[in-house]
Amino acid sequence: MRCMLCESLSFAHICSTCQTTFLTPSIYKRKILNNIEVISFYKYNEIKDLLHTKHTDLGFYIYSILAKNSLLKFASEFKLESPVASIAIDDHVKSGYSHTAILNKSLDSKYIKPKFNKLRANNRVSYSGKSKEFRLINPRNFELKNFVEKEVILVDDIITTGSTLSQAIQKIESNKKEVLLCLTLVDVRIV
């Protein structure tokens, strides 16, 4: 097959040279609800075309590559005294896979234990391209299923206004759990 970016022959959808050149992450931080840190790895405009594959068959491979180059590396350097749970925002399967579950799975390490099907939105309205007002009028209404760990890392692909992550944090904290931080592939505000 050919690399999607440079069209060289490659065993992966994006060749190792392009992964090094274009997908080496940087760290971007912001704080949201209750001063919780959100760590993002890419600028939106750098990988927006790759992100738009998420509801296609190709998206499975692209999100796996993005996760390997960012969240997997984060997990390999993350240390705490006891393991924490990582939970993806609404890891509902759509188009044959869940893009947030792929991101979450890449965090599996000695200190991070990914949990699946734990945080689901009862409202599946799309926030893509919608205003903050629209997001506030149409909350996700998350449902949280039980798990053992008391500390959580939240995982999503994109942060724009922060409303989805804030709603998830509120739901988790209302169940006597602590959100340590949030991880996203991109922060739309970073230009």
pLDDT at position 191:
62
10-residue mean pLDDT series, the chain (191 residues):
94 96 96 95 94 91 97 96 94 86 97 96 78 80 94 96 93 96 93 62
Is there a domain that residue 123 lies in? yes
- CA dist 175 → 10, 55, 110, 123 (Å): 47, 31, 25, 20
**Residue 139 belongs to domain spanning:** 25-187
CATH of the domain at 63: 3.40.50
Please indicate, yes or no, whether the overall pTM of this predicted structure exceeds 0.75.
Answer: yes
Is there a domain that residue 48 lies in? yes
The bridge status of strand 142-144 relative to strand 119-121 is antiparallel
Is there a domain that residue 153 lies in? yes
pLDDT at position 99:
93
